[in-house]
Every structure is written in C-alpha cells, then in structure tokens.
Structure 1
Amino acid sequence: MSPYPSPTSDRPLAGRTIALTRGPARAGALGAVLREAGATVLTVPVVDFAWPADLGPLDDALTALRDGRFGWLAVTSATTVTALTRRAAALGTGLPILLAVAGDRVRIAAVGAGTAAALERAGVAVDLVPATGSGAQALLEAWPDASPEQTPVLLPHSDLAAGALADGLTARGWPVTAVTAYRTVDHPAAPGEAIEPENRWSEAAGERLTVAAAQERRPDAVVVTSPSTLRRWLAAGDPCPIVAIGLTTAAAAAEAGRPAAATAATADPAAVRDAVVTAVTRPVVSNPTGSPSARSADRDAAPPTPERRWKA
C-alpha cells in the first residue's frame, strides 16, 4: 500500500514533502503552486546575496547606462534586477527613470521568463527574451546578429557567473562590459551587506529551515534553483530526488554525479510543479553512484514563452 494519500488531478502532490532551496520571502508563487498541488513545502534558504566589496564599478556602469553609452542591458537573474533597482535608488533615481533618461537607445534583454517578469514588476519593459528555456545559450540564440551599428552591451552579473554570455556575445562581434552586481554567499549575508531589505526574514514571512533540519524531514524531492544551491544541498548528503530549474543547474547535478530526476526548463511555477510531479512519481532505481535516484526519462518541454525580438 502506498504511504501517500491518493493524488488527484488537482492535487498531484498530496502527502508529499518538497524542499525548496529558497527562503520564505523568495518562495513566493512557486511555494504557493506547490502547496496548491497538495505538497508540504519546506523553505530552505541556503544562499544569500550580498553587495560587491566595491560598489564603484556598478555605480559607474549605471551612470554610463543613463548617459546613453550602452545600447543593450542584458539581465541574467531576478537578483540582478534587485541589485540594479536598489543601486539606481542610491544614485538618486529609479531604474525605470534612469532608463528613460537614456532614451530609446537602450534595449533590455532578459535571460528567461522569470527574469523578464522581475524586470516588468520593477517597471522596466523587456525587448528580448528567449521563446523557450532560459540561460546564456537560450539568450544567445535569440540575440540579433551584430551589424556595423551595434552598440555596447552592459552585462551586470553574479560573482559566480561563468562568462558564457559575455564570451558568446563577444565572439559574435558585440562589445561587452561585464560588471559584478552582487555576490552569492552562504545564508545569511552579513548585516549591512545583503542586497535585500534587512527585515526580509521576519517571522511573518514563514518558517525557514537549515539544510540539516530540512533533510531530517526526509523530503520526497528537493527543488534546486542554481548550481550554488545544489552544491550546498549535496554537501549534507541527502539522496532524495533532485528537481533542477534550468539546464545549467541540471548540468551541475550531472557533473556532481547526482543527475536530476526532472528538469524545469524555466522558473515558471507551473513548469517547476510539473517537474516535481514527474520526479516523485517515477520508479526509484540506483544511479551510477549507488544512491537512489528517480529514473531518467525524456523531459517534457515547458510551455513556450512568446519570444520578443529587437527590431531596428
């Protein structure tokens, strides 16, 4: 007899416990969708985001962006949106206003649907987003070809960025200025260094667990949001099935010898929920490392996002 309540079409995760490697304040819509599907969600903030040791290069880049010295702003994460918004405010303006001063010369590219949504919530219209998937390769495939009139690209990023997007754009003839917008650190960031508001972990935001405490509850699957959250989860050794958000995270899981049981092509909550359902309902077999893992299978494609392409 199954130890779980019988799932239904509207509650396919009934009785399941899912760990989500985000804190309560960041779990947001994804946590809500998983709960609506019947899951008990454990919010586990394993990383935090801190300002660069030197904010001068980021502030200089924003000033240059305002002055029209860049033709593109390429944004690779929702955390980058937060960093740009807060630094624009520190410079005495808002990000939408700063971009408005720059005028129509600046186009905005987002690495995926989740980042595009974060930009739009911040009041910034997005000109280019991949039709399917997310990540450097997806954005490169959607990026326009270089021309004699191409203008420089500003690429703010994490200190852990691999450089694939900058390298790909440069190889195609686009001049790129990369600047560190934030650092990825163990949770929690030191007081005064976190880019999020200081009260972000208030009790009102809900319970948050350490990795060890979450693993003691024996979750049926863990949703890992990035290679850095994956590494921190695996460091504690839990063998539960992994659900990766994005191909980059899935690749990191494979390299770590713990292939993802399912992968969501984007951070869209419905796509992640569907990947979680796939992971927890697959038969369990042994992976090459000898640890239990969900059986590999072809991944379902996420619903496409309408691609926005820049027009000259």
Structure 2
Amino acid sequence: MAELLREHGAHPVIAPAIAVVPPLDGGQPLDDALLRLEQFSWVAFTSPNAVAATLARADRRGVRRRFARIRVAAVGPATAARVEAELDRPANLVPDRNDGAGLAAAFPDPRPDDACFVPHSAQARPELVDGLRARGWTVDAVSAYRTVTPTLSDHLIADMAAADAVIFASPSAVHGHLTQIGDRPVSGKVICIGRTTAAACAEADLPVAAVASRPSDDGLIEAVIAAGNG
C-alpha cells in the first residue's frame, strides 16, 4: 500500500499502531481446541493475524495436518489469502460483506452436531460469535493472540499528527493510533478499510472521510483519492 501511495505522489508515514503478542492465558485454551480439532466442522478466521497465530500454534502441537479435514471461513480477501498461503488451499467461504456480522450471515445453517472453532484476537468484537450462536451454531471461541500498542519516537508521532490523511485497516489500529498520539488531534482525513473499522472511529468520536468500497490496498487508495477530491 505504501508503494501505491508513492505512485500517486503521496509521502507515506509508516507507523505501526499495533503489535501482535501471545494471549494472556498463555495459549492453553487454543492448544485444547487444536488438540480436538476433529470435533469442529468449520473454523472461522476474522483476520490474517488470527490465521498466522493459529497455524503457528498448530505447528508447535504437530496438528497442522488436521486442518485438511475442516472447512475454513475467512472474513475477507486478505484473510482468505493468508489461509491459502498457510494451508495451500482456498477458503471454503468468504462473504460478500467483509465483517463479522457478514461472515455469520453467510454461514450455512448448522446440521446436528455441527460446531465452529473461532480463534481470534483477545480484543475481538462479538458480532461473529454472537451471530453464529443466534443461528444455532455451537461455537468455541478462544484467544489466539492479543494486540498491544507499540511505543513510537516523538519524531514519528509528530509526522503522524501532521499527516493529511490517516488510513486505518482495523479497529485495533484506531485504538492504538489514538493512544500513541495522546492529546493531539487527528487533523488529517480519516480513511477506513471497512464498516467495522469505521464503527471504531465513530465510537472514538473520530469523523470518517471515506470507507473503502472493498477491503484491499487498491480499495483504500481509491478511498484516499476520493476523500482528497471531496
């Protein structure tokens, strides 16, 4: 995405708003779920980080091969791409609406004894799990990772605060960025990758200038251009 911004004449300021670390529970609930993976008919991933953390843990427990027998749902194209990279096969389900509620709505009706495994962030929003349970699914949701806010240099924070546009690709990035800049206002136009991220901005009273029409780098660049022309 930074390269695409440069191609359009922009100067990207790369500022990591989150860092991915192990869950506070030490990963034991994730291990327990992985060791009984054959009990699940589906696994649902809501981020590339969830895919990476879950498969890394599966490697440590020697159970990656068990994913060959389970159907995989991915919330959007980036998550589906990580699924394919990790498992060497495409996701079985990618919804048209790329958020937790959209993924829950796209699931088939459960059959008797169907269960879904949802490894997600410790700070995950509840829409997917609540939506699946409301439709009759048995859901085992566990923390595969958590996000923390990195400490950035004063110089980088000053560059962030002076930016003409701020691009957010996840709710956790919104919260991390606001923590990093402290009392400084967000003066640039805010661009979000999707509705869930835009909702996090709304919860923080942060006006959104544009939301990408599709959750991809190209979609974000188009939204940046649209916001700049608005």
TM-score (norm 1): 0.67
Indicate the SS of the match to 2:12: strand
Q: Counterparts of 1:128 and 1:173 in 2: how far apart (Å)? A: 18
Contact 1:156–1:181 (Cα < 8 Å) also in 2: yes
Q: Give 1:178's aligned residue.
A: 141
Offset at 1:177?
A: 0.3
Offset at 1:209?
A: 8.5
Q: Give 1:141's aligned residue.
A: 105
Matches within 5 A, 1:65-144: 65=37, 68-92=38-62, 95=64, 97-100=65-68, 103=69, 106-122=70-86, 123-131=88-96, 133-144=97-108
Offset at 1:250?
A: 0.6
Q: Give 1:222's aligned residue.
A: 166
In structure 2, the gaps of 5 or more residues are none
Q: Counterparts of 2:108 and 2:53 in 1: how far apart (Å)? A: 26
The structure with more helix, counted as a fraction of residues = 2
Q: Is 1:44 aligned to residue 7 of structure 2? A: no
Indicate the SS of the match to 2:57: helix
What RMSD, in angstroms, separates the aligned Cα atoms of the two structures?
A: 2.0
Q: Give 2:209's aligned residue.
A: 261
Aligned partner letter, 2:188: C
Contact 1:134–1:265 (Cα < 8 Å) also in 2: no
Give the paired residue count. 223
Indicate the SS of the match to 1:177: strand
Q: Counterparts of 2:200 and 2:135 in 1: how far apart (Å)? A: 26
Deviates more, 1:271-280 or 1:32-41: 32-41
Indicate the SS of the match to 1:43: coil
Identical-residue share of aligned pairs (%): 39
CA deviation string 1:127-163 (max 9, x = no partner) = 00012x311111122111233x351100011011122
Q: Counterparts of 1:219 and 1:181 in 2: how far apart (Å)? A: 33
Contact 1:222–1:240 (Cα < 8 Å) also in 2: yes
Q: Give 1:240's aligned residue.
A: 188
Q: Counterparts of 2:214 and 2:55 in 1: how far apart (Å)? A: 23
1:212 aligns with one of 136, 157, 172: 157
Matches within 5 A, 1:149-168: 149=112, 151-168=114-131
Indicate the SS of the match to 1:116: helix
Indicate the SS of the match to 2:92: coil
Aligned partner letter, 2:78: G
Larger Rg: 1
Distance 1:210 1:144, change over 3 A: farther
Contact 2:15–2:160 (Cα < 8 Å) also in 1: no
TM-score (norm 2): 0.89
Q: Counterparts of 1:146 and 1:110 in 2: how far apart (Å)? A: 17
CA deviation string 1:73-96 (max 9, x = no partner) = 000100011101211221135x3x
* Deviation beyond 6 Å, 4+ runs, structure 1: none
Distance 1:281 1:55, change over 3 A: same
In structure 1, the gaps of 5 or more residues are 1-29, 189-207, 283-312
